[in-house]
Structure 1
Amino acid sequence: MADWMILTITAVAILAIVFMIVRLRLNPAVSLVVGAAGLGLATGMGPGGTTDTIMQGFGDIMLEVGLLIAWGVLMGSILNEMGAIRRLVDSLLRVFGPRGVPYAFGLTIGTVLQSIFLDVLLVMSAPLARRIAPALGKYGTAKMATAMAISLECGIVLMVPGVAAVALAGLLSVPLGEMLIFGLIVIVPTILISLFIMNLLITRGLWKVDSDEQTDEEFAAAGAESAELEGAAAPRSSQLSGNEKAGTLVDGRGTRVGLLPHDARTSGGRAPNEPSLVLLFAPMLLALALIAIGSILKMVDFSSPVVDFVSAPVIALLIGLLGTSYVGRFTIGRKRVEAAVVNGFRESGQILILTGAGGSLAAIVATSGMGDILGKYFTANSFAPLITVWIIAAALHIAVGSVSISAITAAGILAPVAGQIGLNPVLIALAAGAGSLFVVHVTSNTFWLLQSMLGQTTKGTLKSCTLGVSLASVVALGCTLVLGIFI
């Protein structure tokens, strides 16, 4: 089959997937598999070859990341139940003060807390950001909303153990330790630079308090409406209990922390019998450290059976999960830990199916000959592959509105190119993640949760979320291109 025909058929298949998700409201995982099946048949694989490749692609990515995603989501669910997020944010405010807290808040959410699923992390941290905002002055709401939007979206696709970052690593056969190290190298300057630029714009006239923020009366009324938005998020955020209504969210200790006035819990450290924050996060940080150490030692050609075993991502995250469960049993009790695990399993199932469907599409694209065609036009010393994958992911995100789907699909299209041209696949993963952040808009559930829970108008959210995250998307691409010079 001629090259132009394969390229055209692939483009039509991708557009068909977008149409099914956006217009027909078909489940994204189903749409990806349907598109993959159509692409396989249209490029001459035949019924048997197409179905075998779909199943093989699903199985291959599950082999790479299935348990990793499950362990990460379960850890996040237990941490959420223990109220770790609320305490961490309170500590940041005390340590860094009003001027530095948006940066510290953003870096913490974008890096440390990525084992917690995005919607849950947003719903738990938004009331705390809302409480911090008045301490930052006139533009406090704008700064905190921007910090949340940028860090939440960047973290899920650039930082391990964010579910999309783990999926991208598996899809492109990137060692998880490399994804962790290089993702950290990209995400830290991305968040800092993007927040610095956005804060300058906000204070130089971009943000209009009268039109971009809701009045106290409007915000109170929006509290009731946001319950419906959280209900819409529930299929993706099943860690939320029935008591977690807008404005009266329940933290890990069962106390109401939602849109309430400042209280004693934010002013003075932990309660007498409350464990230290370091203890709560120690198992997860240990797991990430083991993965990073294993990757670094591999780079310097050091090998030890014990080190190789405990630093293997699936074992390291399992150690983190067991440690987090052990800490949880002594802080919130066995029953609440078990309930958190049940919710985590429910959530991870949805993520795994979507990730596997993305793997199926990637396998079909590779088998169709698309990789051979693209390999003719790209060279390892060219930025073209990274810019191309960014553009594809950005276009898909604008159409579909899902960061994870657009990143996984774009990476799947160019995955076959990495091995042929010698380009480090971690760069493709980071470029796909960066592109998937471009123009987070009204099709995104995150957009409306940020609008409702932080007291912004739709116009204000277009500035803090859409503009802020789009800026981060471009900055992340720039950081990835710079990184590509050195690796």
Structure 2
Amino acid sequence: MEVVHTAIAIVLVVGLIIWAKVDPVISLVIACLYLGLAAGVGFEGTVTAITGGFGEIMTKVGLLIGFGVLIGALLHSLGTFRKLVRALLSVVGAKRLPYALTGAMSTVFPSIYVDVQVVLAAPIARSSARHVGPRGLAHLAGAIGTGIFAGYVFVVPGLAAVTIAGILEIPLGTYMIAGIVLGPVTALLTTFLFGRLLRLGWWKPETDEAQDEPLDGDGVEQNTAGTGPGEGASRSDVDVPLPVALLPILVPLLMIAGGAFADLADVTNGFVAFLGNPNVALFVGLVGAYLLARAATGVERTDKALKTGFHTTGEILLITGIGGSLGAVIEATGLDQTLASLFSASEGAAVVTSILLAWFIAAVLHLAIGSVSVAAIAAAGIISPVLGSIDVAPLAIGLAVASGSMFALTVNSNFFWMFKSLLGLTTKGALKTMTLVTSMASLVSLPMVLVVAFLA
């Protein structure tokens, strides 16, 4: 019966979020309570599982998420990411801008929240589209969409990437090494394939692009203020050289990567472990970003940027923590043994079957719920209890969850409508860009995940 009750709990989450418009945090808690009580965990056991699961996942990723969001907020206040896009445009030229943009968004931009990314990138894309060609807006929109979410789920410190690694207990350095390859490769391949599709007549500007006011000469849309978490940030770039402004991102990544490579080389001591610890690394990045912001913008604007980051952090931490609670309640029901049998197959097909099942669970949850992060958290929470029972590396399962959670971002996502508005697309145009490229990216990344599964 635990399978039936778990299915009802998932349907309950989906129904509450989509049809009743209930906040995901409240929906997930209700589902946890139903599952625990209906499956016989008991009153005390259910509460213990919910609080214990919340605390356990916060121990793993709470500081990482908080530090990562705050770094992004501070760098946003410095104009770092806008400078990066402009630098790419000047170096590669307009024709190669879709590839440069998606590459940057899948490697550097994951340090800031997805809503801020699209607010920053959309005006640049719209002002540059005419230089790319007749299908320029479509190609750039697709590049932005795939770059944002390939980075978000695969590349540390993308919040979905950090959360998946934490729930499935994958060393963050290990996930980072695999993700820094899968994320950009997925984004670049998808952008290339999408560009080929555009050449075949997929895009119809008269029906896919909205007719609205043009942008100003600097590529800044006149009405973007207040459209997302970036509200209140300065419109003028602060005079901090781009290489210096990127140090709060690059230094932590080098520290984490150094720790991962030290483990691989069997170089273990307390000092190396300390420097390579992801919490320490991201805190170093946060201190660096804070000092840069204080020096360049002053105390008042730095505090304002931090307040924006704290506001975003609270929501993310609650959803992430309740996702951990769901996993703990599922484990308490004994469903792990049942799920373990689903992940079992003939010896030769066990790896493929397990990867496809993990991908499928995440994809279905995303289609139903409309949130990449909630789908990834829920899928990881469902699968985590059975990891010890299947003969597949947790890294591969985590990457499969990441791949599936991208699948088909569509009209039940708030991000979809922000993307549509900021890029100047019709609903049809947003479906033909955002929904299509996230579906393509999910499918493009799946074979690479299977390769990792066989090699890990």
Q: TM-score w.r.t. structure 2 length? A: 0.94
Q: Does 1:159 align with 2:167?
A: no
Q: Does 1:429 align with 2:398?
A: yes
Tell me how far apart the structure 2 counterparts of residues 417 and 187 of structure 1 sit (CA, whole Å): 26
Tell me how far apart the structure 2 counterparts of residues 106 and 224 of structure 1 sit (CA, whole Å): 24
The aligned amino acid for 2:7 is A
Q: Does 1:462 align with 2:431?
A: yes
Q: For residues 144-178 of structure 1, give each alpha carbon's deviation from its aligned partner in whole angstroms, at most 9, with x where no partner exists.
A: 10001111122222211111111111111111111
Tell me how far apart the structure 1 counterparts of residues 189 and 427 of structure 2 sit (CA, whole Å): 25
Select which of 279, 287, 290 maps to 1:322.
287
Unaligned runs of 5+ in 2: none
Tell me how far apart the structure 2 counterparts of residues 42 and 101 of structure 1 sit (CA, whole Å): 54
Deviation at 1:382, TM superposition (A): 2.0
Q: In the superposition, relative to structure 1, how do residues 192 and 116 fare at CA in structure 2: closer, same or farther (>3 Å)?
A: same
User: In 2, are the aligned partners of 1:124 and 1:251 still within 8 Å (CA)?
Assistant: no
Unaligned runs of 5+ in 1: 245-249, 255-273
Tell me how far apart the structure 2 counterparts of residues 340 and 424 of structure 1 sit (CA, whole Å): 39
Select which of 82, 89, 93 maps to 2:85.
89
Tell me how far apart the structure 1 counterparts of residues 185 and 160 of structure 2 sit (CA, whole Å): 20
Deviation at 1:224, TM superposition (A): 8.8
Aligned pairs (5 A) from 1:124-139: 124-139=120-135
Q: Does 1:448 align with 2:417?
A: yes
Aligned pairs (5 A) from 1:390-401: 390-401=359-370
Q: Does 1:280 align with 2:280?
A: no
Helix, strand or coil at the partner of 1:206: coil
The aligned amino acid for 1:132 is S
User: In 1, are the aligned partners of 2:46 and 2:329 still within 8 Å (CA)?
Assistant: yes
- Corresponding residue of 1:336: 301
Aligned pairs (5 A) from 1:142-291: 142-216=138-212, 234=228, 237=229, 239-241=230-232, 250-251=234-235, 253=237, 274-291=239-256
Tell me how far apart the structure 1 counterparts of residues 105 and 67 of structure 2 sit (CA, whole Å): 19
User: In 2, are the aligned partners of 1:36 and 1:364 still within 8 Å (CA)?
Assistant: yes
The aligned amino acid for 2:176 is L
Tell me how far apart the structure 2 counterparts of residues 15 and 377 of structure 1 sit (CA, whole Å): 20
Deviation at 1:304, TM superposition (A): 2.4
Q: In the superposition, relative to structure 1, how do residues 195 and 26 fare at CA in structure 2: closer, same or farther (>3 Å)?
A: same
Deviates more, 1:210-219 or 1:441-450: 210-219
Deviation at 1:377, TM superposition (A): 3.7
Q: For residues 96-136 of structure 1, give each alpha carbon's deviation from its aligned partner in whole angstroms, at most 9, with x where no partner exists.
A: 12232211111111121111111111112211111221111
User: In 2, are the aligned partners of 1:69 and 1:348 still within 8 Å (CA)?
Assistant: yes
Deviation at 1:218, TM superposition (A): 9.2
Q: Does 1:40 align with 2:30?
A: no
Select which of 385, 407, 415 maps to 1:438.
407
Q: In the superposition, relative to structure 1, how do residues 83 and 225 fare at CA in structure 2: closer, same or farther (>3 Å)?
A: closer
- Corresponding residue of 1:267: none
User: In 2, are the aligned partners of 1:79 and 1:280 still within 8 Å (CA)?
Assistant: yes
Q: For residues 404-458 of structure 1, give each alpha carbon's deviation from its aligned partner in whole angstroms, at most 9, with x where no partner exists.
A: 1111111111112212223221222221121111111111122122221222221
Deviation at 1:378, TM superposition (A): 2.3
- Corresponding residue of 2:106: 110
Structure 1 residue ranges (4+ consecutive) displaced by more than 6 angstroms after TM superposition: 223-227
Q: Does 1:359 align with 2:324?
A: yes
Tell me how far apart the structure 1 counterparts of residues 295 and 223 of structure 2 sit (CA, whole Å): 37
Q: In the superposition, relative to structure 1, how do residues 226 and 98 fare at CA in structure 2: closer, same or farther (>3 Å)?
A: closer
Q: In the superposition, relative to structure 1, how do residues 15 and 331 fare at CA in structure 2: closer, same or farther (>3 Å)?
A: same
Deviation at 1:226, TM superposition (A): 7.2
- Corresponding residue of 2:265: 300
Tell me how far apart the structure 2 counterparts of residues 209 and 386 of structure 1 sit (CA, whole Å): 39
The aligned amino acid for 2:68 is G
Helix, strand or coil at the partner of 1:207: coil
Tell me how far apart the structure 2 counterparts of residues 409 and 125 of structure 1 sit (CA, whole Å): 29
Q: Does 1:15 align with 2:16?
A: no
CA-atom RMSD in angstroms: 1.9
Deviation at 1:90, TM superposition (A): 0.6
Matched length: 448
- Corresponding residue of 1:414: 383
User: In 2, are the aligned partners of 1:393 and 1:406 still within 8 Å (CA)?
Assistant: yes
Q: In the superposition, relative to structure 1, how do residues 104 and 225 fare at CA in structure 2: closer, same or farther (>3 Å)?
A: closer
Deviates more, 1:89-98 or 1:311-320: 89-98
Q: TM-score w.r.t. structure 1 length? A: 0.88
Tell me how far apart the structure 2 counterparts of residues 484 and 393 of structure 1 sit (CA, whole Å): 17
Tell me how far apart the structure 2 counterparts of residues 172 and 436 of structure 1 sit (CA, whole Å): 15
The aligned amino acid for 1:415 is S
Select which of 95, 102, 108 maps to 1:99.
95
Tell me how far apart the structure 2 counterparts of residues 215 and 413 of structure 1 sit (CA, whole Å): 44
Tell me how far apart the structure 1 counterparts of residues 215 and 301 of structure 2 sit (CA, whole Å): 32
Q: In the superposition, relative to structure 1, how do residues 44 and 180 fare at CA in structure 2: closer, same or farther (>3 Å)?
A: same
Tell me how far apart the structure 1 counterparts of residues 281 and 393 of structure 2 sit (CA, whole Å): 24
Identity of aligned residues (%): 40
Helix, strand or coil at the partner of 1:205: coil
- Corresponding residue of 1:386: 355
Deviation at 1:312, TM superposition (A): 0.3
Deviates more, 1:320-329 or 1:54-63: 320-329
The aligned amino acid for 2:276 is S
Helix, strand or coil at the partner of 1:191: helix
Q: In the superposition, relative to structure 1, how do residues 217 and 286 fare at CA in structure 2: closer, same or farther (>3 Å)?
A: closer
Select which of 389, 402, 405 maps to 2:374.
405
Deviation at 1:62, TM superposition (A): 0.3
